[in-house]
Amino acid sequence: MARGKKKTRVGVVVSDKMDKTVVVSVTQIIRHPKYKKPIKRLSKFKAHDEGNRCRIGDKVLIIETRPLSRTKRWRVSKILERKVAVEEQIPEELSQEGGNVT
């Protein structure tokens, strides 16, 4: 008997605080059945990240897998896009005045 295709989802990592586990937020836009207004639906999945490679803000592809723990049934297949780290630049006048803002 052939098994069905595994489900895949594309989402954004919202938490990477656990060891080898990330929380991925998947957003889908559905149309309300009666009023036909587009509605955003948000689902969060815990996914296995074997190498702890994912960081918050990364766009990832997750794939359905066998149960790995009580709440973990997804695995990170690949990182589609890394979040670009924005470095905060201190304005020159603030660094010269010692940080006082008037």
CATH of the domain at 23: 2.40.50.140
If pLDDT is split at 50, 70 and 90, which confidence band does 4 have? confident
Within-domain flag for 93: no
Is residue 101 predicted with pLDDT exceeding 80?
no
Cβ-count burial 88-102 (b if 16+ within 10 Å, e if not)? eeeeeeeeeeeeeee
If pLDDT is split at 50, 70 and 90, which confidence band does 38 have? very high
| Predicted pLDDT of residue 2 | 64
Within-domain flag for 70: yes
In this structure, what token pair is assigned to residue 6? 């595994």
Domain, as residue range, for 18: 8-83
Question: Is 4 buried (19+), middle (13-18) or exposed (0-12) by CB count in 10 A?
Answer: exposed
The string of pLDDT tens digits covering residues 42-100 is 999 999 999 999 999 999 999 999 999 999 999 999 999 998 876 666 666 656 666 56
Within-domain flag for 71: yes
